[in-house]
Structure 1
Amino acid sequence: MIDLILHNASVQDSQEHLDFAIDQGVLVESGAGLNYPAAHVLDLGGRLLIPGFVESHVHLDIALMNDPVRPGRIQPFRSPVELNQAVEQRRMSFTCQEIEQRAGLAMELASRHGVTAMRAQCHVDPEVGLRHLEALVAVREKYRDRVTLQIVAFPQHGLFSRPGSLDLFINAFRCGADVMGCASNLERGSGVKFRQHIDAALDLAMEMDVDLDLHADLGIPSSVGLDDLEVVYAARRVIESGYQGRVTAGHVCALDSAMPEVADEAIALISEAQISVISQPDMVRLGREDNRHVRRGLTRVKQLLAASVNVAYASNNVRDVFRPLGNFDLLEEGLVLAYGAHMDSIEELETILKMSTYNAARLMGLEGYGLKKGCQADFVILDAPSPSAAIIGQAEKLYVFKAGKLVAQNRRITQL
């Protein structure tokens, strides 16, 4: 007898309903008319079965720092610099216990919304030391049966702004960090150019044999040349170093400011370097000073996809100083992306769902991910018959499974 069998599941890219047999946390078979004796049986009635959502870029250590009773900005948005200063002031009073509590609530909220894997950015710098990292390592262990968590050592104060930063990052990997972070925009006042910052981050990633996760090109200048793009410099260095497939770039907003021919050349380099790109909900912070033809602040999602670049999307900031919105809900973020990136055809909506599942899993290097025989049984059952119906209708996540175990069950009740 096996643990679980699912009957009559709708699956993306399949024209027929399928059955899935799960045992000991693994998908053992799929097909029509499976007849295994099982301890638990679910008839999905044509509802959509997808692999677990993958939240590939989120600042977990500062998430949910806003007032839960009256969320939203206390004062109107002024500038990213002021927002960063506000974070600097708030985080100095954070204790490990507080970070663990907020991050734990975030993991539970993400799990409720079908997230089974997450890559979390985590402040590492001489002022807070490894306090944030120690908290997230504890959270990773506590919730390991719900969410697979990768931790990015994020250089909140750059890599050269403060003495001892590079040594601190080496210690971070010894203490449990998984991925090297990179954010050249945070080298403020130190005279360090973005190329030096990227070089140092890439060199350290290669030394430690870990992936590199860049914050790249976060602004939207009126114009930008090819050599001005951080992601282009990173791509060239990755190709030179033979580190293809180990690097992700988040944001990449300035790519949309480039002339089409410059963007095409940049995208070709990104593709050659096998850099994954994560689109973020940057509409909330960019274009606010535009008084006509207000820019969206998104990267060139469609063009990147057309060039076979692995593109995902993520929440980035959730209910913190930078973005007071969000629910760790990738169906919700997918709908936002559909509006912003003009992706509203059935095929494009299906692509959006893959961006938050298969594409995001690929950039995280998740092994055994998917709905094929032998894959780990991390999956979500959505109350919708298709991907486009799930996104447009914001379908409920009826069941969430991690390694074959039910970790969340939701119901939406309407009385008329």
Structure 2
Amino acid sequence: TALENLTRALDRGVDVVGGIPHFERTMRDGAESVRLLCEIAEKRGLMVDMHCDESDDPLSRHVETLAYETTRLGLQGRVAGSHLTSMHSMDNYYVSKLIPLMAEAGLHAIPNPLINIMLQGRHDTYPKRRGQTRVRELRDAGITVGFGSDCVMDPWYSLGKADMLDVAFMGLHVGQLSSRADMRWCFDAVTVNSAAIMGLEGYGLEVGCDANFIRLQADDPIEAIRLRAHRLNTVRGGRIIASAPCVEHVLDMPGRPLTLEASNYAPKGNSG
């Protein structure tokens, strides 16, 4: 059975409990699966990442149950709801109740912009819903929001390349996060926020942190997203494991520079 397979996987070292309640046959079955999976995580001391309400149905409300079980079992800070796309279609009155419940439970949110904009709204003619969850409202309520990719190359999304700058770029557009502060936040949504959701230790650029990072050909985080910046170095454990030369374009245009580097055209001054 599914429960036996889950138990076997956890016994072999899988360290996060997952689920997909909106795929159950009934809403009641979905709610029961959330309860059962959260209880398993609580007993084993594990985190939870629930594929939750990846639907255009505004009545798909399993995230409410997830918030309740998180609080009931004392799992605050260890549970994430991924996708949450039904929140895009929920009425504002219900959401005004739901988001505070999520914040109270210490629930994290993981929108997946590339796959969400690809799959959601498929049953719509026009107007056609974007489908991405309420990123701005969740963030402003104090909920940790980290953008995810979800798919790389599979039947649901065959164009992915595990590029988190692509994810940030799409999330910014779909969420209309276009102020300088919002764009800067989108970089955090694929870096520090996601690291916090995963509970990564030693993450960051401060002295004493693990030396795991990617060096980008960009002057600031906003330019990194705008350009989906070229990767110069990948460093793992203090060792360079991949490198590429700086990208520079050669021009043959009278009166223009001989070479052009895109990152030199970043706006100067405070990027925040």
Shorter chain as normaliser: what TM range? 0.7 to 0.9
**Structure 1 residues 68-83: aligned runs within 5 Å:** none
User: Paired residue for 1:250, among 82, 85, 89?
Assistant: 82
In structure 1, the residue matched to 2:175 is 341
Question: Residue in 1 aligned with 2:71?
Answer: 239
Q: How do residues 20-99 of structure 1 correspond to structure 2 at under 5 angstroms? A: none
2:98 maps to 1:266? yes
Q: Deviations over 1:370-407 (max 9, x none)?
A: 11121111122111111111111221111111111112
- Give the counterpart of 1:209 among 33, 37, 45: 45
Residue in structure 2 matching 1:415, options 247, 250, 266: 250
What is the deviation of 1:347? 0.9
- Please say if 1:404 is aligned against 2:243: no
Aligned residue number for residue 188 of structure 2: 354
CA contact (8 A) 1:212 1:246 kept: yes
Are 1:369 and 1:375, in contact at CA under 8 Å, matched by a contact in 2? yes
Alpha-carbon RMSD: 1.6
- Report SS of the residue matched to 2:173: helix
| TM-score, L = length of structure 2 | 0.87
The question of 1:185 aligning with 2:19 is answered no
SS in 2 for 1:313: coil
Q: Which residue of 2 aligns with 1:285?
A: 119
Q: Is the 8 A contact 2:21 2:53 kept in 1?
A: no
The alignment status of 1:276 with 2:108, answered yes or no, reads yes
Q: What's the offset of the Cα at 1:165?
A: 2.4
> Structure 1 length normalisation: TM-score?
0.57
Distance 2:233 2:7 in 1: 40
Name the CA distance, whole Å, in 2 between partners of 1:287 and 1:327.
Answer: 23
Aligned partner of 1:326 among 160, 163, 171: 160
The higher relative CO (CA closer than 8 Å, separation ≥ 6) is in 1
The partner residue of 2:13 within 176, 187, 197 is: 176
Q: Which residue of 1 aligns with 2:4?
A: 167
Give the match's secondary structure for 1:311. coil
Contact 2:22 2:62 in 1 (8 A): no
Q: What amino acid sits opposite 2:224 in the alignment?
A: A
Whole-Å Cα distance in 1 between the matches of residues 182 and 195 of structure 2? 19
Alignment partner, residue 379 of structure 1: 213
* Equivalent residue for 2:35, pick from 185, 199, 203: 199
CA offset digits 1:330-376 (Å, max 9, x no partner): 11111111111101221111101111111100111101111112111
- 2:262 alignment partner in structure 1: none
Deviations 1:179-199 (A, max 9, x none): 0111113334x8962111101
Task: Find the aligned partners of 1:170 and 1:208 in 2 and give their Cα distance.
Answer: 11
Please report how far the alpha carbon of residue 252 of structure 1 lies from its aligned counterpart in structure 2 after TM superposition: 0.3
State the shift of 1:169 in Å. 1.6
Alpha-carbon distance in 2 for matches of 1:312, 1:168: 29
1:55-83 CA-partner distances (Å, limit 9, x unpaired):
xxxxxxxxxxxxxxxxxxxxxxxxxxxxx
CA deviation after TM superposition for structure 1 residue 262, in Å: 1.5
Shift of 1:410: 2.3
Match 2:54 to one of 209, 218, 234: 218
- Does 1:316 pair with 2:138? no
Contact 1:381–1:400 (CA under 8 A) maintained in structure 2: yes
Please tell me whether the aligned partners of residues 256 and 263 of structure 1 are also in contact (alpha carbons under 8 angstroms).
no
Distance 1:338 1:275 in 2: 22
Paired residues, what number?
248
Q: Matches of 1:165 and 1:293 in 2, distance apart?
A: 39
Moved over 6 A (4+): none
- Displacement of 1:168 in angstroms is 2.4
Q: Could you tell me which amino acid in structure 2 is paired with residue 291 of structure 1?
A: T
For residues 252 and 315 of structure 1, what CA distance do their matches in structure 2 show?
14
Say if 2:106 and 2:143, in contact at 8 Å, map to a contact too. Answer: yes
Secondary structure of residue in 1 paired with 2:240: strand
Secondary structure in structure 2 of the residue aligned to 1:318: coil
- Deviation of 1:413 after TM superposition, in Å, equals 4.5
Rate the CA distance shift 1:260–1:406 in 2: closer, same or farther, 3 A: same
Higher helix share: 2
